[in-house]
Amino acid sequence: MNTPAPPRRGIPGGRSSAARVRARGRRRTAAVAVLVGAVVVAGAAGPWLAPHSPTEVAAAPFAAPDTAHPLGTDHLGRDVLSRLLHGGPPVLLTTTLATAVTVVLGTTAGLLAAFVAHRRPRAEGVVMRPLDALAALPPMLALLLVLTSVPSRLGVVVAACVAGVPLSARVVRAAALPVLHRPHVELAVARGERWPWVLRYEVLPLVATTVLADAGLRFVFSLYLVGAAGFLGVGMTGTDWGTLLHEALPGAALQPYALLAPLVLIAVLAVGVNLLSDTLTRPRAEE
């Protein structure tokens, strides 16, 4: 007599459980996006939202938060919230500019290095060895060296490029080199397409996810350098967030909000952009 096979046991609620996980992930991503968007909007529109001038003495020094001054005042009696809002535009502009320039230069250098490694492996050192020499320079040392000669927003952008381009180039080269061996690339070369066209239209789209993930890291790195420049006293303005940290540190015991507010904004922006970049570059799970 044939014994009936035992019924197959599935995972109870497996599909609904996965759907709940995806829904929680979407809600978490939306919350992070809203938080980062709020920081960006408040930073970009800060001068128009600030209730006081950044240099106006609004109350007694180290005043506690109240309805007129939600974050209190600093060591000179200036409104902390107003100075924080006025410091947003230079930080966001410099960080975004440094990130864009670093990603463009790093991606170009990485694609060029991958092309040279694919076609002339022995000549790859001509592209990569100078970048490796720059990568050996500590970021803070690069920042100090550049700002000694160019103490301005341009100097911070140059320092971010000096420290970030070699790393971006390495990441893009590692992603692009396997793509150059794919059949569609060889077919494009065989039909007479020039290499700049091949790199632009056949290789770059396939490494775009890697470039986007690297852009998130470059943004965080550039934000760190912008904040460090302000903290060292060579900020773009007297109200950028790094400068506010430098000014608030001696009186942190009397007015902690003046120190915590720029720290929180920098942390939210850095962590939030990194999380969003990770979400955008994560492969979608199969339904």
Q: What's the pLDDT tens digit per position in 188-207?
A: 888 888 888 888 889 999 99
**Tokens (6 digits) for 99:** 């990130």
The CATH code of the domain that includes 182 is: 1.10.3720.10
pLDDT for 10 equals 47
Give the helix/strand (H/E) hosting 35: helix 14-44
Query: Is pLDDT at 6 greater than 60 in this prediction?
Result: no
* 2 domain-assigned: no
* 216 domain-assigned: yes
Q: What are phi and psi of 57, to 5 degrees?
A: -80, 110
Is-contact 56 71, C-beta < 8 A?
A: no
Taking residue 64's Cβ as centre, other Cβ atoms within 10 Å add up to: 13
* 120 domain-assigned: yes
Q: How far apart are CA 169 and CA 128, in angstroms?
A: 8
* 94 domain-assigned: yes
Q: How far apart are CA 240 and CA 242, in angstroms?
A: 6
Residue 100's domain comprises 80-281
* 1 domain-assigned: no
Query: Is pLDDT at 136 greater than 60 in this prediction?
Result: yes
Query: Is pLDDT at 24 greater than 80 in this prediction?
Result: no
Which SS3 state, helix, strand or coil, does residue 73 take? strand
With tokens 């809203």, the residue in question is 34
* 266 domain-assigned: yes
As for how many domains the chain has, the answer is 1
Is-contact 245 230, C-beta < 8 A?
A: yes
**Tokens (6 digits) for 35:** 């938080």
* 158 domain-assigned: yes
Q: What's the pLDDT tens digit per position in 49-92?
A: 888 888 889 889 998 898 889 999 998 999 999 999 999 999 99
Q: What's the pLDDT tens digit per position in 262-281?
A: 999 999 999 898 888 878 77
* 67 domain-assigned: no
Q: How far apart are CA 198 and CA 205, in angstroms?
A: 11
Query: Is pLDDT at 39 greater than 90 in this prediction?
Result: no
Closest-CA residue to 243 (of 161, 182, 156, 178): 156
